[in-house]
Amino acid sequence: MMKALYITGIVLSVIFMFVIGYFIQEVESARFSSYYSSYSNSYDIYNSYSSYNYNSYNSGADETMAAAIVSFFFFVFFILTSIFGLVRVKTTTNKVFSIIGLSISGIFFFWDFIVMISPSAVSFDEVGGGFGFYSMIMLAFMIVGLVQAIRYAKRSRVTVQNPSLDILDS
C-alpha cells in the first residue's frame, strides 16, 4: 500500500508543479490586466480630472482563492502521506524524512491558509514560487519514501510456501 501511495505522491508532486505554474500565470495576468485597464481608462478627455481606480489589485483575488483551495488538497495529501509513512514504514531514514516532511508541510499549509484568509492581501503569484520549491522537496521525499518502502517490504517479507504467490507479490 505504501509503495502505491508514494508513487501517487511522485505523480502528484509533478502535477502540482504544473498547477502552480498555471495559477501563477493566471493571477499575474489578472492583476496586470486590471492594473493597465484601470490606468488607461483613468484619463478621459471630456472630464477635467482623471480618476484612478485604487482597487486594481483586487482583481486577482478570485484566482488566488481558487489556487489556494486547489493547493490545500495537495498539502493535505502530502501531510497524510507523511503520517502514513511514519506509521507504516519502520526504517530510521523514512521516519526522519517523514518528520521533516511533516514539518515542511505544516509550514507551507499554514502559508496556504494565510493566502486563503486574505487573497487580496497575499497574491498567489507572490507565494507560488515557494509552493513550487515545496513541490520539488516533496518529489524528493516521495522518491526516498518509495525506496525505503521497497526495502522495508523486502526485509519484512515472510517466506511463502508456494513460489507462485511470491512471484505475484513482487
Rounded-to-integer distance, Cα 142 and Cα 98, Å: 9
* pLDDT score of 135: 96
Per-residue pLDDT of 35-59, as tens digits, reads: 555 555 555 555 555 554 544 445 6
Nearest to 109 by CA among 86, 83, 145: 83
Ranges of the chain with pLDDT below 50? 52, 54-57, 166-170
Report angle CA 133, 137, 138 to the nearest 5 degrees.
115
Q: How many CB atoms lie within 10 A of CB 123?
A: 21
Q: Cell 525506496 belongs to which residue?
A: 147
* pLDDT score of 4: 92
Rounded-to-integer distance, Cα 135 and Cα 143, Å: 12
> Is residue 16 within 8 Å of 75, Cβ to Cβ?
no
Rounded-to-integer distance, Cα 98 and Cα 57, Å: 38
* pLDDT score of 169: 41
DSSP string, the chain: -HHHHHHHHHHHHHHHHHHHHHHHHHHHHHHHHHHHHHHHTS--TTSSS----TTGGGGGHHHHHHHHHHHHHHHHHHHHHHHHHHHH---HHHHHHHHHHHHHHHHHHHHHHHHHH-TTTS-HHHHHHHHHHHHHHHHHHHHHHHHHHHHHHHHSPPP-SSHHHHHHH-
> Is residue 51 within 8 Å of 45, Cβ to Cβ?
no
